[in-house]
A and B are shown apart, each in its own frame.
Chain A
Amino acid sequence: MIEPTKTPFYEKHLKHKGKMVDYSGWNLPVQFAGIIDEVLRVRRQAGLFDVSHMGEVMVRGPGALAFLQRVLTNDIAALRDNRIMYSPVCYPDGGTVDDILVYRYDGENYLMVVNAGNTRKDYDWFRENLTGDVTLENLSPQTAQLALQGPESLAILKAVTEAPVEGLKYYHFLPQARVAGVDCLVSRTGYTGEDGFELYCPEGEALKLWEGLWEAGEPRGLAPVGLGARDILRLEACLPLYGHELSPELSPLEAGLDRFVSFTKETAFIGREALLQRKAAGLRKKLAGIEMLERGIPREGYTIKAGEGEIGWVSSGTFSPTLNKNVALAFLDPREARVDREVSVVIRTREYPAKVVKIPFYRRG
């Protein structure tokens, strides 16, 4: 058995009484004070997340843009320097390899941030499909990443940097900013539905960054947050999670990510033909929101019925502390998925009433 990898923040997690678990080969905290408290803390004040498990792959060379246009479904030509784009990555059959962020330094230097569990698979996929004058470098082993999320994030970050973070717009980044004495990449991004930042730095400097943020943050209500709350926060905001809403069997179209798939860009991306065919044939399932009307927590894999017939299944479900409701994302037959439609969720042996609702469940005010 391979021991899970520790991040540079391991000792901090133990000190804050994090319950550690093995997640995609990484030893990470699933919770600290309690998942519900942590979710509410991020919605009301701020939370600090160790996301060092995320993978980073650098793409360099004159052929970088052409390569990205081919392997990513979104139109990267529209991306300007110091900005970020979200994009799915597809197989030729339209199934999903991963969903990633692309940071553009300039026309010949891009950073791809990929899901932890997919880092190796993605790297191999990109290598296999390498075209033109492009080099790939996996920076994951030497890169640490922290996410600072919540309404107090800006105030906390401003306390430890002179860099112009206040003017940084959503999905923009500063390639080099000195934060708490550490040179970081700072982006206004996150996976919670709140305002916030993600900070990347060399592994060796990571503890110093954590300590600086903590010192500035604790008086402003900052708390360490684990994977459990991170999953709920992203689900409340209806941000897809690979392995749940996207997979080799589930394309970005079924997951409702059409706006990140460009059929009109000049380069035909891998999977384009298959996705066009799926679209023309009509999707057999589509992601929708479900809210329980009585008790019961919908969980991954549970069947959804309308009357006697099965109309789909839950891809992610949870008790939502922010809304005080039980909610789920589900793949439903598109003909059955109209908002307010009453359905039922099969929880163990009983059916519990629910209805189809608009997504996202939560949008920051």
Chain B
Amino acid sequence: MEVEENPQLQTQPESSPMEVEQIDRRPAALGDLRLLPDEVLCAILTFLTPRDVARLSCVSSVMYILCNEEPLWMSICLDIANRQLQYKGSWKRTALDQLNVTFENNESCRKPLHFDGFNSLFLYRRLYRCYTSLNGFYYDTGNVERAKNLSIEEFHDKYDGQKPVLIAGLADTWPASTTWTTEELLKKYEDTAFKLSQRSRHKIKMKLKDYVSYIKLQHDEDPLYIFDEKFGETAPELLKDYSVPNIFKEDFFDVLDRDQRPPFRWLIMGPERSGASWHVDPALTSAWNTLLCGRKRYIIENQSLSFPVILSQGLAEYFS
């Protein structure tokens, strides 16, 4: 909503005693760099080393603000991480931990300074996205067919490679339908390290208990999620918790020798806001996907319809 005021009708005195003249720190504190939009400035900082960023934060107030942004430290941290990650409540702390900077005699993580006279729509929007809860976004328009007790023939005739379908009930008998919750998995696998979604040069792993602690503490726009194709090797017990449904038994990878088989099963776990961006699965493979806990939203581009189909997935439903 916008309000427009006619200046001639203004009855307020020119300068009310309550008004304090706001300084704008930007021109002086950014110098020539004020020409750049904030998103470009922030992108430039991601090319610096932690040491450079620490020094740059001492250059001026606005630099201090930009150099203490959590998304910047997340990017730095994922860049330098070379061992198992343990989230320390903020990405700056986590990065310093990876660099073996101790907190006791280092005060750099104490309460940050605040400066007035600076605002940035870019930083505000980004922060807003980091704190966005997705509860209000739940909707299921029912635009995808649902099926139960589907036979292999029916599946091939009606859906396979033709249109999306949600198949209910296939996981009801799996132990995983009750044991694959955060609490239950923690009991057995708290010290097992799982692989995280690829976001850096090195594959990063996190112990499950550290990952769950990260989930609870983080406020990332695009949080890290567990995406582990080796879970069957690191935690073979997990394989007993589910079975491949009959309609998906056919497996073309069977013609390959065992050691030549490409990655074919993944354990995925993530908090709200986490997920993959728009992509085509590698080698155009088909996959089945079961949701055991929480909810997941798919956006599928339908080439023949030329607009994306959005569907939300409820508990324990299949999607093909």
A binds B: no
Residues of A near any B CB (own CB < 8 A): none
